[in-house]
Amino acid sequence: MKTLTTTIAMAILAACGAVQAQEWPSRPLRIMVGSSPGGGTDAMARAVADRLGPLLKQPVVVENKPGASNTLAADFTAKSTDGHTLVMGVSTAHAIAPHLLKLGYDNNKDLVPVAFVGSVPNVLVANPALPAANVGELVKLAKSQPGHLNYATSGAGSTQHIAAELFKDVTGTFITHVPYRGSSPALLDLISGQVQISFDTMPSVIGHIRSGKIKPLAVAATKRNPQLPEVPTMAEAGVKGVEMSAWYGIYMPASTPKAVIERVNAEVNKVIAMPETQTRLSAIGADLTPMTPAQFKAFHDAENQRYGDLIRKKNIKLD
């Protein structure tokens, strides 16, 4: 009798969850972005939002809230109670910042990994006037002028920051860190020559590379990227062990019902499977990878471990 009662109770809960998911969303949704417009996170969020709205039959808007290594948007989402606020999470906020910053929320408890979108490699890019045509020449130049060269990032604790610090550690160079509030202002100063290099993400730099405003020196990945087939990997350029990619995925507050999480996961997976989304994001070097919520959670945990170990091993700290 107890087993029958338990079964009935579980069936009722499942039915309630299904009804709740069907009734949700009841209002427009917003996807928070922790960086300024024009960056990689913003590009990913807008590609998802444009196609997600029709599937959910509600408008989905992107709202930028840059700062604090992308964690301001994550913090805002974690504390949201409207049930219709999501955040386009990025490795900077969800795998790196927790090991470098004192956050106002618990990265592993207050937000739930819902739908993985994909990843993009970081690219070592330089101002065209920099007298270095390749990585070897850059290393030689940096060693001849310790501290004279600057590298720009979208913020302290970003993948750009970690990649550059790894590069400095492996090559034995001293290059000064100049953090910005997002990729767009950082790239503006790179283009103007105020800073000399950056390890920015593919979506942020690909347009500027194609226009000739900046020059690529190497891709921080295990293999060449189809969008930049002529650009060597860091290992091919003579620097091993500097591999860094930014990954992106939708997170929601921990209070979000399971049925809603499953629905958002299913709809986002539909979006990234669409040919138009594939075309749009592959053009900026993205590798799209659908996951279940459980798979994304396992990935989230593994990345936190990997970056935490790396930050401690390299003794990386915020400036």
Same domain, 128 and 178: yes
Same domain, 162 and 184: yes
Average pLDDT over residues 254-274: 98
Last residue of a domain, which of 199, 219, 239?
A: 219
Does any domain span residue 16? no
Does any domain span residue 8? no
Q: What is the CATH number of the domain that holds 285?
A: 3.40.190.150
Same domain, 209 and 260: no
Same domain, 177 and 157: yes
All residues at 6 or more sequence positions from 178 whose CB lies less than 8 Å from its CB, including other chains? 150, 151, 152, 153, 186, 189, 195
Same domain, 190 and 274: no
3-state secondary structure of 171: helix
Does any domain span residue 21? no
Q: Spell out the alpha helix ranges (H) of the chain.
A: 2-23, 40-56, 71-78, 91, 135-144, 159-171, 183-192, 202-211, 258-273, 275-282, 293-314
Does any domain span residue 22? no
Q: What is the CATH number of the domain that holds 180?
A: 3.40.190.10
pTM above the 0.75 mark? Answer: yes
Same domain, 127 and 213: yes
Residue type, 118: G
All residues at 6 or more sequence positions from 309 whose CB lies less than 8 Å from its CB, including other chains? none
Residue 310: which domain range? Answer: 28-119+247-314
Pairing of strands 150-153, 197-201: parallel
pLDDT of residue 7: 53
Does any domain span residue 49? yes
pLDDT at 69 over 90: no
Same domain, 115 and 162: no
Last residue of a domain, which of 173, 204, 219?
A: 219
pLDDT at 8 over 90: no
pLDDT at 114 over 50: yes
Last residue of a domain, which of 178, 201, 219?
A: 219
pLDDT at 55 over 50: yes
Using alpha carbons, list the distances in angstroms from residue 12 to 8, 9, 18: 6, 5, 10
Q: 148, 236, 246, 136: which is closest to 199 by C-alpha?
A: 246
Same domain, 194 and 204: yes
Does any domain span residue 83? yes
Same domain, 100 and 141: no
Same domain, 73 and 150: no
Lowest mean pLDDT among 123-127, 133-137, 263-267, 315-319: 315-319
Domain count, the chain: 2
Does any domain span residue 17? no
With beta carbons less than 8 A apart as the criterion, state whether 293 and 249 touch: no
Lowest mean pLDDT among 86-95, 193-202, 230-239, 278-287: 278-287
Q: 98, 100, 37: which is closest to 65 by C-alpha?
A: 37
All residues at 6 or more sequence positions from 293 whose CB lies less than 8 Å from its CB, including other chains? 112, 113, 114, 115, 261, 262, 265
Same domain, 103 and 178: no
Does any domain span residue 230? no
